[in-house]
């Protein structure tokens, strides 16, 4: 069993990253920092005769890396009450992968994975971050993935997250869960 952490942040050592690293400390995980890669927005070709075209970016490589793992941790800062555009673009592209002959079993493979979400926001995240969690829930439900849990931390300034004792405790509990995977 193995674990990938997909980071949607755009600032090195951001609060979300700190929290996700706290949760995975001492555990072997593959880390994917989306902002270090070129992932273009989807161009919807679902109804185009020729179908989707390759975007010639890093997306496929990232998907290949992710598909090898059993557990996916989505770690995103809360930007404007939702996941970062960086992460949204990545997920939007799944619509292509589901129809891509290069990934014939994409949805089936994804459906065998377990998912977690770690998110940090500054503006009442435990309330205003809830719609995002509902969306992740719908996303995982659609893919057949099990949504195993989430952590919402509070932070704005760099380092703030280290003051959020509940989030840290939840990260430690999650660490125990991930350790046995």
Interface with a copy of itself (CB under 8 A): 9-11, 14, 35, 41-47, 77, 79-86, 88-92, 94-95, 123, 126-128, 130-135, 137-139, 142, 147, 149-150, 157-158, 165-166, 169-170, 173
Residue with smaller CB distance to a copy of itself, 2 or 179: 179
28 vs 81 by CB, closer to a copy of itself: 81
Angle between helices 165-179 and 15-24 (to 10 degrees): 40
What's the min distance (Å) between Cβ of 27 and a copy of itself?
19
Shortest Å distance, C-beta 107 to a copy of itself: 13
The answer to whether the CB of 35 falls within 8 A of the CB of 7 is yes
The string of DSSP letters for 11-30 reads STT-HHHHHHHHHHTTS--E
The total number of residues shown for the chain amounts to: 181
Provide, rounded to whole angstroms, the least separation between the CB of residue 125 and a copy of itself.
Answer: 11
Q: How far apart are CA 151 and CA 169, in angstroms?
A: 10
CB of 47 to a copy of itself, least distance (A): 5
User: 2 or 159: whose CB is closer to a copy of itself?
Assistant: 159
Query: How far apart, in whole angstroms, are the C-alpha atoms of residue 93 and residue 42?
Result: 5
Q: In this structure, are residues 157 and 176 in contact, taking their beta carbons and an 8 Å threshold?
A: no
Cβ proximity to a copy of itself, 5 vs 83, nearer residue: 83
């Amino acid at each position: 069993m193995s674990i990938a952490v997909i980071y949607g942040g755009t600032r090195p050592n951001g609060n979300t990253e700190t929290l996700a690293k706290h949760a995975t400390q001492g555990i072997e995980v593959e880390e994917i920092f989306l902002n270090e890669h070129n992932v273009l927005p989807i161009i919807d070709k679902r109804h185009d005769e020729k179908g989707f075209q390759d975007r010639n970016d890093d997306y496929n490589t990232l998907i290949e890396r992710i598909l090898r793992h059993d557990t996916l941790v989505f770690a995103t800062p809360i930007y404007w009450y939702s996941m970062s555009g960086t992460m949204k673009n990545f997920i939007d592209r799944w619509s292509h992968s589901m129809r891509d002959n290069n990934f014939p079993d994409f949805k089936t493979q994804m459906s065998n994975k377990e998912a977690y979400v770690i998110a940090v926001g500054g503006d009442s995240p435990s309330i205003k971050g809830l719609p995002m969690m509902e969306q992740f829930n719908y996303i995982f439900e659609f893919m057949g993935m099990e949504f195993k849990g989430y952590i919402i931390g509070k932070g704005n300034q760099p380092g703030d997250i280290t003051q959020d004792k509940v989030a840290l405790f939840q990260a430690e509990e999650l660490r125990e869960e991930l350790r046995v995977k």
